Amino acid sequence: MKLSRVLGVVCILLFSLLSWSATPPTVTLFVDATSTPRKIFHAKLKIPASPGDLTLYYPKWIPGEHAPDGPVIDLAGLKFTASGKTLKWRRDLLDGFTIHVDVPAGEKEVDAELDFLSPATFEGGFSAGSSATDKMAVISWNQVLLYPKGWKSDDLTYVATLKLPPGWKYGTPLPIASTSLTGQNGDTQIIFQPASLTTLIDSPVITGEFLKVIKLADNPPVEMDVAADSAAALNPPQDVWDHYKNLVEQTNKLFGAHHYRDYHFLYSLSDHVAHFGLEHHESDDSRVGERGLVDEGERKLEAGLLPHEYVHSWNGKYRRPAGLATPDYEQPMQDDLLWVYEGLTNYLGTVLTARSGLLTPEQARDDLSMTAAALDHTPGREWRNLQDTADAAPELYFSPQAWESWRRSTDFYDEGTLDWLWADVIIRQQSKGKKSLDDFCQLFHGAPSTGPMVKTYTFDDVVNGLNQVVPYDWRGFWTERLTNHGPGAPLGGIEGSGWKVVYDESPSEMDRGGEGSGRFIDVAYSIGIDLREDGTITDTIEGMPAALAGIGPGMKLIAVNRRHYSPEVLRDALREGKSSTAPLELLVENTDYFNTYKLDYHGGERYPHLARDESKPDLLSEIYKAK
């Protein structure tokens, strides 16, 4: 068939008229957070619509969480009206995050009401975990809104208003239009400037009765907005704030440019919120225990969290794997390059933790030795390579601790630290000390400084970037790192940097810190048990003495050599076993039954450290030195 020229012109005209009329809608959103202590948030939206089917999405794939874990199960109170009349709606049968609303003839706008049910009892996890207490909350916008199908999140505009409990302070990177006090009890109402849906969801709000703002840098401004369950939790020694000022300075020196207008560390200190860190372009949502700043031991254990999340503003938000830069929150993300997104971030986070003084070089080395030891005792690498830990990330993020050493976990974080250290060492060796991974970061993530924007990359771009810094078989290096099955962890970086992993009988300061906080009792590298202080066996390492004797995850240690278990009793028995031929006898409870297991183990206590290898230059100390 032949299209007539005239018809063609008409078609083009019609087409351009259609696209002209298709202006992306502006949605107004009102969120009432005054019931935060009851852990329910109310929201109202006005959504432009036309008669027929209005398809709305609840955000499913949450940026930075790398998984379809939007908390749709906590969406309640859903009601749609137009001109005061209630509208029919139905959930899509193929996708639980999709809602279809029947819009009657003549209507141009739909009013939506919804509630978000924030976990009422403690739930771990990411931003869908516990987020509200009697004294504070973090509001993640993706949890309190719907968005219309057919538009990129960059193109949809949201005008948001947020009402907070009386007297509560707040911090957020989202630009504010105005604030006012409303109602009889003086609730705070914040009207935000119109923002794209992308920016809105990327800009959470931290709020609370006890909230402290600490300025860390000017030009561009960087601040910490710290909310806690008590005023006392907000007063650490001054050098804590100084170390975070160093963090901003050292990170900007590392990259040589930045990609935010201003940056807010949103830091939650509470024993009743989920503990994790989530990155954004211009902020992070990081949450630790209430005493995370004031308690020295807790502070050391959490020292790497904010450096990691801050690095993400460059690596993850600005430079992003193409498969993670989706047009909205409905399209699946592809996690295959998380060994760059999370792995490089994890390595740079450890480097900046040392460079900023949040950990001393010795503490940073202790920390690295624990990472190396854990990965070196991961038999699951026999069947699952590093690439598959990234490919399976949406599932692995939610896997239990039981069988972790055989299943493997999201190892692209910690193994990324070892691999990118190795890459850093290779660059330093190949360039005879003239170049380092910092040069790659400046090339890949650096100048010119911009506001928030996304520049995507592929595997080839990473290889090409590294080759621009120093020519090497980077494709071969990374292919081997991603596909090998060991045995053991990739320790080439540690060894090339002039150090080696050794085990001795005295736990390092960082190891003792982990035990002191009650998180674990470190007997993983002696008898092969991941143990909690109360005797709960969270995992056993395949091939090590406990597993060989028949002990498995989920059991509970009751007695050691017939004496009631305590960490001290177990440690004494390990020490005494060195000079005895008798087996170590563990009485263990398993699904209401008690069994005694005999472990033929005489190796004593074993704790990891890094020891200097004097035959090689000390590159690691060079890497950890402040710029």
Residues that bind Zn ion (CB under 5 A): 342
- The answer to whether 323 touches 394, Cβ cutoff 8 Å, is no
Distance CA 27, CA 25 (A): 6
Q: Minimum distance from CB of 334 to Zn ion (Å)?
A: 17
Distance CA 211, CA 224 (A): 10
Distance CA 263, CA 217 (A): 9
Neighbouring residues of 598: CB distance < 8 A, sequence distance ≥ 6: 549, 583, 584, 585
- The answer to whether 223 touches 185, Cβ cutoff 8 Å, is no
Query: Which is closer to Zn ion, CB of 202 or CB of 209?
Result: 202
Q: Minimum distance from CB of 324 to Zn ion (Å)?
A: 12
Minimal CA–CA distance to 76: which of 114, 132, 128? Answer: 114
DSSP SS3 for 263: strand
Q: Minimum distance from CB of 348 to Zn ion (Å)?
A: 11
Q: Minimum distance from CB of 472 to Zn ion (Å)?
A: 26
Query: Which is closer to Zn ion, CB of 229 or CB of 309?
Result: 309
Query: Which is closer to Zn ion, CB of 145 or CB of 324?
Result: 324
Give the gyration radius of the chain's Cα atoms: 27
Sheet holding 89-91, edge to edge: 89-91, 98-103, 52-57, 147-148
Distance CA 526, CA 575 (A): 11
Q: Minimum distance from CB of 189 to Zn ion (Å)?
A: 33
Q: Minimum distance from CB of 522 to Zn ion (Å)?
A: 25
- The answer to whether 536 touches 562, Cβ cutoff 8 Å, is no
Query: Which is closer to Zn ion, CB of 115 or CB of 309?
Result: 309
C-beta atoms surrounding 499 within 10 Å: 24
Task: Quote the tokens at residue 361.
Answer: 């070089």
Query: Which is closer to Zn ion, CB of 188 or CB of 410?
Result: 410
Q: Minimum distance from CB of 64 to Zn ion (Å)?
A: 7
SS (H, E, C) 86-151: ECCEEECCCCCCEEEEEECCCCCEEEEEEEEECCCCCCCCCCCCCCECCCEEEECHHHHCCEECCC
Query: Which is closer to Zn ion, CB of 191 or CB of 325?
Result: 325
At residue 292, φ and ψ (nearest 5 deg) are -60, -25
CA 563 to chain centre: 41
Task: Quote the tokens at residue 68.
Answer: 């379809």
Query: Which is closer to Zn ion, CB of 342 or CB of 530?
Result: 342
Query: Which is closer to Zn ion, CB of 187 or CB of 342?
Result: 342
Query: Which is closer to Zn ion, CB of 64 or CB of 577?
Result: 64
- The answer to whether 321 touches 315, Cβ cutoff 8 Å, is no
Query: Which is closer to Zn ion, CB of 267 or CB of 525?
Result: 267
Query: Which is closer to Zn ion, CB of 316 or CB of 545?
Result: 316
Query: Which is closer to Zn ion, CB of 336 or CB of 342?
Result: 342
Q: Minimum distance from CB of 66 to Zn ion (Å)?
A: 9
Q: Minimum distance from CB of 121 to Zn ion (Å)?
A: 27
Q: State which H helix or E strand residue 157 sits in.
A: strand 157-164
Q: Minimum distance from CB of 390 to Zn ion (Å)?
A: 13
Distance CA 285, CA 204 (A): 7
Neighbouring residues of 94: CB distance < 8 A, sequence distance ≥ 6: none
Neighbouring residues of 407: CB distance < 8 A, sequence distance ≥ 6: 380, 384, 396, 399
Query: Of all residues in the chain, what percent are helix, strand and coil, respectively (each to 5)?
Result: 30, 25, 40
Task: Quote the tokens at residue 452.
Answer: 């928030």
Query: Which is closer to Zn ion, CB of 61 or CB of 147?
Result: 61
Distance CA 175, CA 449 (A): 19
Q: Minimum distance from CB of 337 to Zn ion (Å)?
A: 13
Tell me the CA distances in angstroms from 220 to 216, 312, 332, 358, 535, one per residue in order. Answer: 10, 17, 34, 22, 49
Query: Which is closer to Zn ion, CB of 342 or CB of 419?
Result: 342
Q: Minimum distance from CB of 393 to Zn ion (Å)?
A: 11
Q: State which H helix or E strand residue 352 sits in.
A: helix 343-355
Task: Quote the tokens at residue 98.
Answer: 């999709």
Map tokens 């975070």 to a residue: 244
Q: Minimum distance from CB of 308 to Zn ion (Å)?
A: 6
Which position's Cβ is nearest Zn ion? Answer: 342
Q: Minimum distance from CB of 341 to Zn ion (Å)?
A: 7
b/e burial code for range 8-38 (CB count within 10 A of at least 16 → b)? eeeeeeeeeeeeeeeebbebbbbbbbbebee
Q: State which H helix or E strand residue 511 sits in.
A: helix 509-516
Give the length of the chain: 627
Query: Which is closer to Zn ion, CB of 203 or CB of 497?
Result: 203
Query: Which is closer to Zn ion, CB of 165 or CB of 277?
Result: 277
**Torsion angle of C-alpha atoms 371, 618, 513, 563, degrees rounded to 10:** 70
Q: Minimum distance from CB of 296 to Zn ion (Å)?
A: 25
Q: Minimum distance from CB of 439 to Zn ion (Å)?
A: 23
